[in-house]
Structure 1
Amino acid sequence: MHYHISVTDPASHFLIITYTIPEITTDRIEIQLPAWRPGRYEIQNFAKNIQFIEAISISGDKLPIRKITKDRWEINTNNEKEVQIRYSYYAAIQNAGSSYVDEELWYLNFINFCFYTEGRINDEYRITLALPETFKIASGLASDGLNKLIARDFYQLVDSPLLASETLQKSDYTVRGVQFHIWMHGRLKPNWKRIQRDFRRFSREQIATMGDFPEEEYHFLNLILPHAFYHGVEHHNSTMIVLGPDDEGEGLYTDLLGVSSHELFHAWNIIRIRPVELLPYDFTKENYFETCFVAEGCTTYYGDLFLKRAGVFNDEAYVKELQVYMKRHFENSASAAQSLAQSSFDLWLDGYEKGIPHRKVSVYHKGALVAMILDLYLRKKSNHEVSLDTVMQILWQRFGKPFIGYTIEDYQNIVEEVADEKLDWYWQDCIFTNEPLETRLNEALSFVGLQMTTFSNGNIQLNVQDDFKAKIQRDKWLETRQILSDEEEE
């Protein structure tokens, strides 16, 4: 399979695409455009951005093509062995899951505009980009020559976004033999020494916790905008991050650290440790699952926790981040009717929009809080001998490494195996009902000298208690696994 992608008029934001399908053995074929993308569990109907489409034989004759669903077409091959699909796609949105082209930048998410041929989703895919001569490419895909990329199958292709520009900036670092690449596009002058130091710290801490890294290299693809923005999406050996404004202030840098640490942990949790309902992805329809509180909740919890353990955040900065998602849960959805599992399932319905009052909870915010409750409970029970780290490590060994999907029952069984007891209270109060979370949360927080206060006006405040024994427990909870040498810091 081959894709040729060009931009004849950058100001129009249209991609001009030729999709070549070789070795055809049937008189009819069907091509499918994805209806959604990994990392965003909602139907997005990318086909709405296709302006025109046609099918051409190898000799240049037009072939009959008929749309049979909103994003699926049937082609009468007229016994041709090779067919080309030519079409245009409007790429004019800049978020972490979209595509955008202009005179200065090509930002491509292949999931938006690449078809697969029914029955051949596991074929190899090759990409040729008609880029301006001065453009550099940032992508997790392997190079197959100048402006040519190769993916082992459609799944890898559409899980590998790309930035291309003359003005891309880059810095590299290595942790435990893994090569990390940080790419920046935008009007800013990165402090690479600081960025490398902090990224190396949290990368090393995450790998130390999980034991090893799923990939040989990893790309942080950053698009920095002049206006306020915050969005990141995980991919198999990369992440696409869009942030702003590009004022190079501390707020932008804190956002960069937070989203980067979060997305890196996804390299284990959801990219490889994946719910069985998502393995393999079915791009034609909703893939319902109840465990997004594991995929996103645990990852949200760990994103900031690793920054503290790695010494990137101090105690004050970490407590501030904890308070942020406490406020977002308790001030916005503490009295919601749905359980966390129900809201995970309903992501496909309205999980990424405000929705009606008091209906759903956030799998990110409440998910992070219940992950912390579980972590602190396991630590208190075992004097830090086991923790949520242990749960994630077992998930990685049993499900992530062999790349087999886990069920919600698998997750429950592993948690109770680590706890060495039934945890009916946890599943009942935190996961499967809409019980208020305040009591369970403060029980957990008291172990490490923290306490959440709810004021009569609904505001939330997280307080640090000056208790010597609790501080010892807090230090053990937040302790660093890996200390960098002076040479590594430099």
Structure 2
Amino acid sequence: MHYRISVPDPVARFLEIVYTLPTHTSTHIDLQMPAWRPGRYEIQNFAKNVQKLEVQGGSGARLQVHKITKDRWRVATAHEATIHVVYRYYAVIQNAGSSYVDEDLWYLNFINFALCADGYLNQPCTVELDLPAGFRIACGMPPTTQPTILQASDYYQLVDSPLLASATLHHETYQEEGTLFHVWMHGNLHPNWKRIRTDFARFSREQIATMGELPVPEYHFINLILPTAFYHGVEHHNSTMIVLGPDDEGEGLYTDLLGVSSHELFHAWNIIRIRPKELLPYDFTKENYFTTCFVAEGCTTYYGDLFLRRAGVFDDAAYVKELQVYMKRHFESSRHATQSLLESSWDLWLDGYEKGIPDRKVSVYHKGALVALILDLYLRKKFDHARSLDDVMRLLWQRFGKPFVGYSYEDYRAIVVEVAGEPLDWYWEECIEGTTPLENRLNEHLAFVGLQMTTFSNGNVQLNVLDDTRAARQWERWLASVQVFSNAENDDN
């Protein structure tokens, strides 16, 4: 399959796409536009941005095509060996899951606009970009011998490889544990590359040390910095697409960059490869319901900030501030919610990214992070830090992520029980499957590391550090780098 992409009039914001594929003697071919994108579990109907779709045979003859659903077309091949599908896509939105073009920038998420014929999902793909002179490309998809032609092993890799192209891209690299990391920036800014390289290398090293390996030889942080306030990141096969703003280059922007980058890198394990079985493989035509988004997003939210503290990028005060943020977000909006985490994971497809009606759902990100915190501290207290949530994540990686076989809720629960050495009925009934308020359980386990949370009737949350020498020691062990902690344990033995 071959996609040729051009932008004849950047002011109009339309991509012009020619999708070429062999017919394999079929009398007709069905073409499908994705209805949603990985990392955002809601139907988005990308076909609404398609304009003027036509099909030609290899001979140049125009072929009959008609729509059979809102995002599906049927082509009568008329015995042509090859067909060329020609269409336009309106690319006018800048967020981490969209596409946008103007005179200075091409930002492409192929999941938005790349048609695929039935039966061709596992076929190799090439992308030819008719770029303006001087543009260079930031993308996890490998280039061919020609820099404007990219190669994907199949459709799944194609649509999991977003792209920025511009003549004004900033670029830096660093290397950790055999992986070459790229950091790309586009926007009105002057990156402090020395600081970025140092901090990114620290949290990357910490994540790899925790999980044992990073399963890609190269990884790309692709950043679009806007003049307006924005915060959005999306995980991909060997990259992440991040959109942030405003571009005032203050500490707030840099803290956001660190937080979202650490979160998205952990997704390279947790969801990209440690994937719920209901999403393996992705079916882009309809909802893919699953109940474990609290693992995919909640654990990742918890670890994103935790890795920054373990790596020494955040200090204690910065980490407490981040903990308080998602405590506040949970208790402010859903402390009395009637849905469990399992139910809210399933209902992401219904209204998971909208505010919704009062007291209905919980956030798989915020409550998911809090129940991950509870489990981590429970295991650390029971086993004097010899076991933790780290062990759960490593086992998920070794048994389900690395072989890429997909896990179920029952699989996750069995691994937690194995690490804990007990059924943990209270945890599943109260924190995951039920709607028991979390205040008491949270404070019970926060006390182990010298923290106390106070909630107020208006939803505000105050997280205090207790003056407790013994708890302070547990705090240090909880937040120690996994490498330092392992060395200390070996010394003790």
Q: TM-score, normalized by length of structure 2?
A: 0.97
Alpha-carbon distance in 2 for matches of 1:98, 1:159: 12
Alpha-carbon distance in 1 for matches of 2:480, 2:345: 31
Alpha-carbon distance in 1 for matches of 2:120, 2:168: 37
Q: In the alignment, which residue of structure 1 is the partner of 2:310?
A: 309
Deviations 1:109-152 (A, max 9, x none): 00000011101110000000000120000000010113000000
Q: What pairs up with 1:23-422 in 2 under 5 angstroms? A: 23-144=23-144, 145-422=146-423
Shift of 1:69: 0.6
Alpha-carbon distance in 2 for matches of 1:302, 1:194: 22
Deviations 1:322-359 (A, max 9, x none): 00000000011100110011000000000001111111
Alpha-carbon distance in 2 for matches of 1:120, 1:312: 45
Alpha-carbon distance in 2 for matches of 1:78, 1:331: 61
Alpha-carbon distance in 1 for matches of 2:112, 2:203: 31
Give the SS at the match of 1:272.
coil
Alpha-carbon distance in 2 for matches of 1:386, 1:167: 47
Alpha-carbon distance in 1 for matches of 2:459, 2:249: 34
| Residue identity matched to 1:180 | F
Report if aligned partners of 2:57, 2:82 keep a CA contact under 8 Å in 1: yes
Report if aligned partners of 1:33, 1:71 keep a CA contact under 8 Å in 2: yes
Give the SS at the match of 1:281.
coil
| Residue identity matched to 2:367 | K
Runs of at least 4 residues off by over 6 Å: none
Give the SS at the match of 1:332.
helix
Report if aligned partners of 1:310, 1:482 keep a CA contact under 8 Å in 2: no
Give the SS at the match of 2:473.
helix
Deviations 1:434-460 (A, max 9, x none): 111101111110110001011244321
| Residue identity matched to 2:341 | L
Alpha-carbon distance in 2 for matches of 1:385, 1:137: 45
Alpha-carbon distance in 2 for matches of 1:6, 1:457: 52
Q: What pairs up with 1:425-444 in 2 under 5 angstroms? A: 425-444=426-445
Shift of 1:171: 0.5
Alpha-carbon distance in 1 for matches of 2:21, 2:460: 58
Report if aligned partners of 2:276, 2:407 keep a CA contact under 8 Å in 1: yes
Shift of 1:392: 0.1
Alpha-carbon distance in 2 for matches of 1:22, 1:164: 29
Deviations 1:292-324 (A, max 9, x none): 000000000000000000000000000000000
Alpha-carbon distance in 1 for matches of 2:147, 2:338: 54
Deviations 1:247-267 (A, max 9, x none): 000000000000000000000
Q: In the alignment, which residue of structure 2 is the partner of 1:488?
A: none
Q: In the alignment, which residue of structure 2 is the partner of 1:452?
A: 453
Question: Is 1:14 matched up with 2:28?
Answer: no
Report if aligned partners of 2:141, 2:152 keep a CA contact under 8 Å in 1: yes
Aligned length: 483
| Residue identity matched to 1:232 | G
Alpha-carbon distance in 2 for matches of 1:163, 1:254: 23
| Residue identity matched to 1:251 | G
Report if aligned partners of 1:169, 1:183 keep a CA contact under 8 Å in 2: yes
Shift of 1:481: 2.6
Shift of 1:51: 1.1
Give the SS at the match of 2:334.
coil
Give the SS at the match of 1:300.
helix
Shift of 1:37: 0.2
Alpha-carbon distance in 2 for matches of 1:237, 1:355: 33
Give the SS at the match of 1:36.
coil
Distance 1:456 1:78, change over 3 A: closer
Shift of 1:201: 0.2
Shift of 1:23: 4.5
Identity %, equivalent residues: 70
Report if aligned partners of 2:139, 2:220 keep a CA contact under 8 Å in 1: yes
Give the SS at the match of 2:275.
coil
Report if aligned partners of 1:204, 1:482 keep a CA contact under 8 Å in 2: no
Alpha-carbon distance in 1 for matches of 2:250, 2:77: 57
Distance 1:456 1:334, change over 3 A: closer
Report if aligned partners of 2:126, 2:150 keep a CA contact under 8 Å in 1: yes
The alignment yields a C-alpha RMSD, in angstroms, of 0.7
Report if aligned partners of 1:35, 1:71 keep a CA contact under 8 Å in 2: yes
Alpha-carbon distance in 2 for matches of 1:10, 1:331: 43
Give the SS at the match of 2:428.
helix
| Residue identity matched to 1:105 | L
Q: In the alignment, which residue of structure 1 is the partner of 2:482?
A: 481
| Residue identity matched to 1:295 | A
Alpha-carbon distance in 2 for matches of 1:424, 1:217: 41
Alpha-carbon distance in 2 for matches of 1:182, 1:421: 43
Alpha-carbon distance in 2 for matches of 1:168, 1:482: 35
Report if aligned partners of 2:59, 2:80 keep a CA contact under 8 Å in 1: no
Alpha-carbon distance in 1 for matches of 2:51, 2:129: 20
Question: Is 1:468 matched up with 2:469?
Answer: yes
| Residue identity matched to 1:171 | E
Report if aligned partners of 1:24, 1:80 keep a CA contact under 8 Å in 2: no
Alpha-carbon distance in 2 for matches of 1:457, 1:178: 47
Q: Which runs of 5+ in 2 are unaligned?
A: 485-493
| Residue identity matched to 1:326 | M
Give the SS at the match of 1:474.
helix
Q: TM-score, normalized by length of structure 1?
A: 0.98
| Residue identity matched to 1:31 | L
